[in-house]
Structure 1
């Protein structure tokens, strides 16, 4: 079977290449685009749907919560029933739930469908990694495919921030979901007919395989821990006071308590030579561990900076949603350029050098915003911050996908995608929650009497930008130590 896949990889046509790259880029990009659209359009959405203040950030948080909690088990299922089947199923569900979000009549419906959309993308993300790996041999095409897929998320998010205000102040935020659902359905049609049909194993799917080849208990333990952790952080994001509530404290303690239980279970599975949802041996690999830590920090800092920037523009600079969107135009442009460049040169440069350069550029973004003043011109700091912020995430996502797929065996490529994207989603939740806590805490201690005044909010946002600057520099240190001397990746093996 492995030989037939390898043989098929060498004969990949340009048409198939275009279908695979377009599909995985658009499907992952659309999900992130909607996340950005919700962030910018949230004030308008909340007003239209009478969304309670305590639930204001839940349309954003619930998506990351459900996605992060289902990636691991769905990645494991994809390795058994086939990545193509799982991917197409996820595309169908994403179209349905995205359209449902646009048709929501109240806040509860929007939150419900956003949560279901998070589960839908969990069908797609790990399966997409497997599709790319089993379609393209190591080399330029695989590099470009991973660069496109990895870039689809930050580019989509930045594009969503750009379009969100435009739609909210013109034809309405609902059209963002409607248009996304239509495009998603068109891409689904292309994928049905264009994705290779021979990339999955022909081994029959049986109940025995589903029960014995998947570590269900490990998946449940990991998902439960992540669910409680994500829920707690989502609550904290809504209000920093929630961190003191008994429910939040209990969830945090329970999520941490499940970690040693999960480790013990993994040890048992490996001792008995049974499947483990995340093999313990992977964490002994310096490169893999460094990637996981860095992805966690990178995704958290990237999303926190972009989210706080939207609040800075609307509540400190006091400009409209559409003006905010215009100011985010440099982000998708720099993000696209970073991914195109990485796709073309990944196999020619040392991976550690590429990551260090990309992360260093990103470090400039929160630093500029930490010292920026609202009276200064947009071009003095804000433009460069918006331009530089996506570069590190785009560079690191491409390199990480190439490295991780070389660490995991071929038969568990979908699970590898699940691990990678789970860590990224949890990083996003933690980054947003901790940033919100810092901003709210500093603003609460402001000397300004009106805690909602631009001056008071600016103090909190500046503290958050310094925090994100520290996260970016921590990522730089981890990459410098953990990825040193790893050489080039994505090089075709003879």
Structure 2
């Protein structure tokens, strides 16, 4: 059955329920990126991970989630978005059940790999179901705004929820929550989601799929190793060099094959190329601000992990507000100007954090700045989503949302190791050195936002993207 898009001004009951199903899935997947972070030490003790191996609980998930997302985005176009979404949710439920019951490291890592594969399958399928169900204009902008707000709030919620579940119940419930969500989505989804796929099904570009997956997987692995170890570690730069080589092979392959996985004409569209660059910056800068402020709160102010997580509830509220106001901003000024203004306000909100000190009054500044930064960041993110997916036919929406999802996950992965390198360059022997490193990284973070805003203002055509 072919999906009948909602009209430009109406949203029926079935459309509303379908939207809830898709948003619930997106929120749950965003939570999974951070829900286990605060529980890692306890997981290590109970399951038997060595301290040096704890990183693999996060790395195994991130590598698969980012490395396979472009491939699955195209598969959604070719073989059915609804089918891929539901199969991915089923895999997420099974993997989460296995992870929650795991009693040895190998089984837990296998579950995390499967969760990463499920995330790579579900995220672009859910996004492309949104973009093909709602026509370009206010309804799509509202849906993408809600999606962006819940995804961004999910990263913050994951840290808070992970701390609460670990302290009050068990870290295993960080897995079991996904099982409950998967059962609910599978019970309702088949009734309200209609199938959408390309009218013509070309052959899958296998060489392109293999090379881009290798490039993304190696790139994300190199970035995570840089964050865990150092940029000078052979596993970091070796993986990044391999990723660069595979990227060149992928581009050469796409020029040679008749039906490429990623038509280079799509990448040459300035709205797609520069829009996705803006997405990488938006996700990299805001998630790394959370990392930097976590260091400040715990290493300088002496907060517990749970106290630090609860502090970021204000940021989470800002992202929700940003997701709600973003469609109105885009409706007034267009996607390009939403990105530019969002990144500029985010830079302005980050700048005062450079001066953070140890007086309690600075916490008020931190809360106000993170709230404003959260609002602005979501305006930029929704602007990026609208810009990067506009002007393309429904048959390429899986590709477009796969690219957008890849930008999101690369940004999330990239920000922390880059900012961590800046912090550690200042030394960590004293509180003053840590604070200097955090301040320097926050200044760089704000500068990156401002520079990206300038590039988008110059490179993306027009004031409105429709």
Shift of 1:345: 4.8
Secondary structure of the residue aligned to 2:426 is helix
Tell me: CA distance 1:369–1:7, structure 2 relative to 1, closer, same or farther (3 Å). Answer: closer
Q: 1:166 touches 1:321 (CA, 8 Å); kept in 2?
A: no
> Which of 212, 218, 224 is the equivalent residue of 2:208?
218
Partner of 2:331: 347
Correspondence list, 1:307-318, <5 A: 307-318=291-302
Unaligned runs of 5+ in 2: none
CA RMSD of the aligned region, Å?
A: 2.6
Partner of 1:206: none
Shift of 1:66: 0.8
Shift of 1:314: 2.4
Cα distance between partner residues in 1 of 2:354 and 2:362: 14
Q: 1:236 touches 1:433 (CA, 8 Å); kept in 2?
A: yes
Partner of 2:447: 470
Tell me: CA distance 1:363–1:412, structure 2 relative to 1, closer, same or farther (3 Å). Answer: same
Partner of 2:242: 254
Cα distance between partner residues in 1 of 2:397 and 2:309: 37
Secondary structure of the residue aligned to 2:179 is helix
Partner of 2:252: 264
Output the TM-score relative to the length of structure 2: 0.91
Q: 1:294 touches 1:479 (CA, 8 Å); kept in 2?
A: yes
> Which of 221, 231, 243 is the equivalent residue of 1:231?
221
Q: 1:234 touches 1:429 (CA, 8 Å); kept in 2?
A: yes
Correspondence list, 1:5-24, <5 A: 14-24=12-22
Output the TM-score relative to the length of structure 1: 0.86
Partner of 1:431: 415
Q: 2:14 touches 2:192 (CA, 8 Å); kept in 1?
A: yes
Tell me: CA distance 1:232–1:138, structure 2 relative to 1, closer, same or farther (3 Å). Answer: closer
Partner of 2:360: 376
Question: How many residues of Structure 1 are paired with residues of Structure 2 in the alignment?
Answer: 466
> Which of 405, 409, 412 is the equivalent residue of 1:421?
405
Instruction: Please list the CA deviations of residues 273-305 of structure 1 after superposition, one character each: whole Å capped at 9, or x if unmatched.
Output: x21122112233222221121111111111111
Does residue 293 of structure 1 match 2:277? yes
Secondary structure of the residue aligned to 2:348 is helix
Partner of 1:306: 290
Shift of 1:13: 5.2
Correspondence list, 1:69-468, <5 A: 69-197=67-195, 199-200=196-197, 212-240=202-230, 243-269=231-257, 274-377=258-361, 379-443=363-427, 451=429, 453-468=430-445
Instruction: Please list the CA deviations of residues 19-72 of structure 1 after superposition, one character each: whole Å capped at 9, or x if unmatched.
Output: 222122111111111222223434444444453332343333332211111011
Tell me: CA distance 1:345–1:191, structure 2 relative to 1, closer, same or farther (3 Å). Answer: farther
Q: 1:58 touches 1:234 (CA, 8 Å); kept in 2?
A: no
Tell me: CA distance 1:80–1:317, structure 2 relative to 1, closer, same or farther (3 Å). Answer: same
Tell me: CA distance 1:390–1:249, structure 2 relative to 1, closer, same or farther (3 Å). Answer: same
Cα distance between partner residues in 2 of 1:296 and 1:222: 17
Unaligned runs of 5+ in 1: 204-208, 445-450, 490-494
Cα distance between partner residues in 1 of 2:198 and 2:179: 31
Q: 1:46 touches 1:52 (CA, 8 Å); kept in 2?
A: yes
Cα distance between partner residues in 2 of 1:189 and 1:376: 49
Cα distance between partner residues in 2 of 1:364 and 1:48: 44
Secondary structure of the residue aligned to 2:266 is helix
Q: 1:79 touches 1:411 (CA, 8 Å); kept in 2?
A: yes
Shift of 1:411: 0.8
